[in-house]
Amino acid sequence: MLIYAGEARLLCAQAANSSLFEVSATQSWFGTRVDLLAQHESIQACKQAFYEAFREMARLEKLFGAEMPESEMRQINQQAGHTPVKVSAETLGLIKRAAEYAQKFSVALEVAAQPREELGGARRGLPNTKPELMRNAACRALADYAEIIIDERDTTIAFKHADLQLALGDIVRGYAIDRAAAILKQQGIKNFLITADGDIYAAGRKDENQKWRVGIQHPRHPNALMASFDLSDGAVATNSAYDLYGANNDQRDPAPPCQSVSVLAASAEEAEAWAAYLFAIGFEAYKKIATPQTPAALFVDADGRIHWEAVWEKNYRLKFWD
């Protein structure tokens, strides 16, 4: 059962006679909240499309949830260090892309394998699992993507090391958002916004005069926004120190290289991967690797200074708040 809250905007006289309704739905997924928001002339059509999108996300939760009884991810983890596990092309494809991101970025992203002990920490709900992965050299070595054996011909996944487990956390959220977006488009919904735990994908526009308006949360003040921008036909993901470390961010040693980074990309999966990577390396390192092909990023560095490219203002109407 979904909860819908919508807003209808009646078009002006020269527009079509039909009215557009703004309909939204909320559902929990993988322990977080997912919001779908759409502009459409039919509330019922939105409800049907939302139902299909949430059903797809529920399917992915069953497929990729490390704790789901029948998930392929659970089977891979149970057989770590022992037997290759036959998986679906979809699972193989996502793990392969995750490993490729890890290889491309040369850091131990959480998309790669996590040591079993660390994953246990995450299961118990202990904070700071992800940052520890980044910092601990031993963990970094263990979490090497090279530990994953991907056999594309036999469609099997295996781990070289018995102490490793897969947790596709953020990357699977990005993938699920992209799948939900594809479902909504298939269902004829052209103007919509998907939000899942701070990751956002926008398609079309809010109305004929305005794109979807997105706020960026302040990394030190979770109840405040520091900026806003317009988004259409693309995704944004943010990694922030507050989200990862909580309020005691200042006491960490070493301090994170930046307070937060927001990344714009064509897909939510890509935005997620880049946000994790750029948060790990910080703004100074980003300046050295940035090319015209690198996704646009907005950094709040460790000292609280904000850095962004001109494209944010030119194409996305970036505005800062006091």
Among 83, 246, 266, 305, binds another protein (CB under 8 A): 246
Name the residue nearer to another protein (CB basis): 161 or 307: 307
Other CB atoms closer than 10 Å to residue 243's CB: what's the count? 17
Among 22-30, 58-66, 153-161, 306-314, the segment contacting another protein (CB under 8 A): 22-30
Q: How far is the CB of 152 from another protein (least distance, A)?
A: 34
Q: How far is the CB of 46 from another protein (least distance, A)?
A: 10
Q: Is 19 helix (H, G, I), strand (E, B) or coil?
A: coil
Q: How far is the CB of 135 from another protein (least distance, A)?
A: 18
Rounded to whole angstroms, how far apart are CA atoms 19 and 12? 9
Among 1-9, 90-98, 139-147, 302-310, the segment contacting another protein (CB under 8 A): 1-9
Residue 251 lies near another protein (rule: CB under 8 A): no
Nearest to residue 201, comparing CAs of 222, 180, 172?
180
Among 96, 213, 307, 317, binds another protein (CB under 8 A): 213
Among 171, 186, 236, 258, binds another protein (CB under 8 A): 236
Enumerate residues 122-141 that contact another protein by CB under 8 A: 125, 127
**Exposed/middle/buried for residue 138 (C-beta within 10 Å: 0-12, 13-18, 19+):** exposed
Rounded to whole angstroms, how far apart are CA atoms 305 and 290? 19
Name the residue nearer to another protein (CB basis): 93 or 215: 215
47: Cβ contacts below 8 Å, ≥ 6 apart: 2, 4, 23, 25
Instruction: List Cα–Cα distances, 202 to 4, 80, 176, 199, in angstroms.
Output: 19, 38, 14, 10
Whether 21 and 8 have beta carbons less than 8 Å apart is answered as: yes
Rounded to whole angstroms, how far apart are CA atoms 206 and 187? 18
Q: How far is the CB of 284 from another protein (least distance, A)?
A: 23
Rounded to whole angstroms, how far apart are CA atoms 258 and 299? 7
Name the residue nearer to another protein (CB basis): 30 or 159: 30
Enumerate residues 25-54 that contact another protein by CB under 8 A: 26, 28, 31-33, 35, 37, 42-44
Among 238, 241, 269, 300, binds another protein (CB under 8 A): 238
Rounded to whole angstroms, how far apart are CA atoms 95 and 155? 11
Q: For residues 266, 268, 269 and 270, what is the CA-based torsion angle, rounded to 10 degrees? A: 40
Residue 162 lies near another protein (rule: CB under 8 A): no
Q: For residues 50, 275, 299 and 233, what is the CA-based torsion angle, rounded to 10 degrees? A: -40
Among 12-20, 51-59, 65-73, 309-317, the segment contacting another protein (CB under 8 A): 12-20
Residue 190 lies near another protein (rule: CB under 8 A): no
Rounded to whole angstroms, how far apart are CA atoms 112 and 316? 32
Tell me which H or E stretch contains 149. Answer: strand 148-151
Binding mask 74-103 for another protein (x = CB under 8 A): ------------------------------
Enumerate residues 253-312 that contact another protein by CB under 8 A: 262
Applying CB under 8 A, the residues found at the interface with another protein are 1-13, 18-19, 21-23, 26, 28, 31-33, 35, 37, 42-44, 125, 127, 193, 195, 197-200, 202, 206, 212-217, 222-223, 225, 228, 236-238, 240, 242-243, 246-247, 262
